[in-house]
Amino acid sequence: MWRIIVNVGLLGNKVGMTQIFDDAGNIIPVTILKVGPCVVTQIKTKSTDGYNSIQVGYSNVSSKTLTQGELGHLQKSNIQPLKYLKEFRVNKINEFEVGQVLKVDLLSPGQLVNVKGKTIGKGFTGLQKRHNFTRGPMTHGSKNHRAPGSIGMGTTPGRVLPGKKMAGQLGNKIRTIKKLKIIQLNLEENILVIQGSVPGKPGNLLSIVPSE
């Protein structure tokens, strides 16, 4: 069962984090996002594609960086080359048209949004860093300081069970932070200030969708 998004989302980049003060003098940790402008590149309808959705594009690039298929898809609608394309499920497609520019003014202060992005990749890490395992004793001849130790049983079942916590890739995964409150909007610079933190490092691509 597909989840239907009531409002179309926007794409943007993370600028960084800072803190601001509210009217009562409380410190609020916030993240600064550069959102849009995004362009509607395609509209899918239930009659032709089986579902209703809006495809939006973000970040102008040179045509040399795109493949012929990507260029042809955008040129069919007379849209400039865009680096990122993302599809959002919507209920009403009549509110949109191809070539329409979507800006941060679709959102409002106090609104809750879900922010999706890729977390910071930390490479191949060990058990202590990846799963918070306790290290072994450091003295008295112990040779098990940060080693994994036993990872399975003996004859029965004679194998390592799936899902065993072991060393491996940490981070670099798609994560969604839900219900983040919008604190401020800057319509001239397309800047969005939201409370809390979002995935990734500065410059990371993010998807901002109104929370239901």
Q: Domain segments of the chain: what residues?
A: 122-170
Of the candidates 33, 201, 17, the residue with the CA atom closest to the CA atom of residue 113: 33
pLDDT (0 to 100) of residue 90:
86
Distance CA 6, CA 9 (A): 9
CA–CA gap between residue 156 and residue 3 (Å, rounded): 43
Pairing mode, strands 10-21 and 205-210: antiparallel
CA 109-113-117 angle, 5° bins: 130
Please write the tens of the pLDDT for every residue from 68-110.
998 998 888 888 899 999 999 888 888 888 888 998 988 899 9
Q: How many Å apart are CA 180 and CA 200, to the nearest integer?
A: 16
| Encoded tokens for 196 | 């809390």
Report pTM: 0.82
Q: Please, what is the end-to-end C-alpha distance for the chain in angstroms? A: 17
pLDDT in tens, 187-201: 999 999 999 999 999
